[in-house]
Structure formats: structure tokens, C-alpha cells
Amino acid sequence: MRRLILAFGLWAMFSGGFVAAGLAAAEGYAPVRDKREFLSLVEGRTLQLRLFRINLTVNRDGTISGSALGWKVTGDWQWKDGLFCREMDWSGTPIPFNCQLVEARGDDEIRFTVDGGAGESATFKLR
């Protein structure tokens, strides 16, 4: 039961739940529309969200690896029409394909907004 509750919470997090999208410019976020720019931000770094003990690496080869709440996360990603598109698995729990708007604030924070920018957002620290 505990794992099911955690799985739902993590699925909601990865699908953009919990953190509402706001006005990017007012918050100091700038859209990342180019794959090269995206890779320059994330390559060799860990995307971290401490609340859920999420640590992810987005690799140049199109893979995602890491952990959340102590369980393994794997996935694949691609850059399509200016959006980050990914599909993941969290210890046997599928996280469905979704294309997300990416925004950065400085070089240490990155925000993903589901449904091409129309949905909810999740913000990660870059370490």
C-alpha cells in the first residue's frame, strides 16, 4: 500500500503535479527552445528535487537514469519541436510519454511544464 501511494505521488510529480505553472518572465525563467542549449544546461549534472529524493541524469544519448524515493528511474528522451519529450519507468511503474516546455533560471534551476507548457510544472535544482 505504501509503495502504491508513493508511486501515485511520484507519477503526479513526473507528470507535472504539485507545482503550478506561473508567468515565466515574472519569475526570471527563460524558455529553452534548442536541444544544444538544453544539453549545455544538463549535461554532466544531476537534476535534483529534494522533497521527493529525486536525482536524475539526462544523458546526451537519449537516456534518463537516476532514482526517486530510493527506487530506480530509467527512461528515454528526445527533443521535438522545441520541447523535451520523455517516457520513463519508476521501479516498474510506467510514466507515460509527454512533451514538456523547458525553462531555466540562471544555470542552477530548470523547470519542466507538461503538455507542451499548458499543464503543471516541476522545478529541479541542477547540481
pLDDT digits (tens, 9 = 90+) for 62-85: 999 999 999 999 999 999 999 999
| Whether the predicted pLDDT of 19 surpasses 70 | no
E-only strand ranges, the chain:
30-32, 47-49, 54-58, 63-68, 71-80, 83-90, 93-105, 109-113, 121-126
2-126 CATH choice from 1.10.3470, 2.40.128, 1.20.1730, 2.60.40: 2.40.128
Only one residue has cell 519508476, namely 90
User: In this structure, are residues 113 and 123 in contact, taking their beta carbons and an 8 Å threshold?
Assistant: no
pLDDT digits (tens, 9 = 90+) for 87-121: 999 999 999 999 999 999 999 999 999 999 999 99
| 27 pLDDT tier (thresholds 50, 70, 90) | confident
Q: Give the amino acid at 80.
A: K
C-alpha–C-alpha distance, residues 18 and 20, integer Å:
7
pTM: 0.81
User: In this structure, are residues 30 and 103 in contact, taking their beta carbons and an 8 Å threshold?
Assistant: yes
Task: Compute the mean pLDDT over every residue in the chain, rounded to the nearest whole number.
Answer: 86
The conformation of residue 62, written as its DSSP 8-state character, comes to S
